[in-house]
Amino acid sequence: MGYGIAQSLIRAKHDVFGYDVVAAQMERLQQEGGLNRPVAEAAVEVDCVIAVVLNAQQLESVLFGDSGIVPHLKRGACVIACPTVAPSFAKTMEARCLEHGVHYLDAPISGGAAKSAKGELSVMASGTAESFKAARPVLDAISETVFELGDSAGSGSAMKAVNQLLAGVHIATMAEAMTFGIAQGIEPARLVEVISQCAGTSWMFENRAPHIVDGDYTPHSSINIWPKDLGIVLDIARESTFSAPMTAAALQQFMAAAGSGLGAQDDAAVAKVYARNAKIELP
């Protein structure tokens, strides 16, 4: 998703320095108009840093690690932090940025690679008025919808966690329902057709169940996302002594999928765990 964000920013005539652990990605971006300079040199110039990494550990590393960018930023610059992290972690990052005079926008994103490339992401954002003001030109270039969720870091991450809880559980439940229906002799395509018109439907059911009907597990969003994201939800829940049995059950299904070698497949492939356990054949 980072690459699509960089493209959207170039399209909007921003000067964009792109960094990736994969050198080929950086070269490709330069061919599309991206700039290239060592982090410490570029940092003193930029108004915004947008961090599109996998998790909290990577976020801390790119902001404050050995070659972390925050100590080099000018005062008043803004960090836009996109990974799904715990609200408490987002608050810590905000506080550490403020020590350097740097604004921090807690800004988890959703929409996937396709919407990212089109500049049509959804952003669940929270942060100070100054951080929103500093981030606005970037947000305008990359997103279709910005939910403004509060005046400090944490609320954006909390809302993202709620969304991921629902999305992850709904995917596992879609898989349970589809395989259950198939086990009862119902045609997979008929399941999608009927359920989509009934009270049992969900955004994820309508989006993912067709992958099972088509037998197409090209990863639009992979199984491996879910042990991470539902793990974050359950970490937050444990911090709050909050019992979350639906999330816990869904996590186990994604763990079984990842553990049995399906991690890189589309997340609808969690249906293969159910199919294997019940000895039924998927399309």
**Read out DSSP for 151-193?**
SSTTHHHHHHHHHHHHHHHHHHHHHHHHHHHHHTT--HHHHHH
For residue 193, what are its two tokens? 């057709």
- Is 118 in the active site? no
Nearest-approach distance from CB 150 to a copy of itself, in angstroms: 8
- Give yes or no for residue 180 binding a copy of itself (CB under 8 A): yes
Q: Which stretch binds a copy of itself (CB under 8 A): 1-9, 62-70, 96-104, 173-181?
A: 173-181
- Give yes or no for residue 200 binding a copy of itself (CB under 8 A): yes
What kind and span of H or E run contains 253? helix 245-257
Nearest-approach distance from CB 270 to a copy of itself, in angstroms: 11
Name, in order, each residue with C-beta under 8 angstroms of 128's C-beta and a sequence gap of 6 or more.
103, 151, 152
Nearer to a copy of itself, 61 or 122 (CB): 122
Binding mask 137-156 for a copy of itself (x = CB under 8 A): --------x-x-x----xx-
Q: Which of residues 248-267 bind a copy of itself (CB under 8 A)?
A: 248-250, 252-253
3-state secondary structure of 72: helix
Write down the catalytic residue from 13, 74, 118, 160. 160
Q: Which of 12, 14, 194, 210 binds a copy of itself (CB under 8 A)?
A: 194
Q: Is 59 within 8 Å of 53 (Cβ atoms)?
A: yes
- Give yes or no for residue 198 binding a copy of itself (CB under 8 A): yes
> In what side-by-side order are the strands of the sheet with 109-110?
109-110, 121-125, 143-148
- According to DSSP, residue 74 is labeled P
Residues annotated catalytic, as ranges: 160
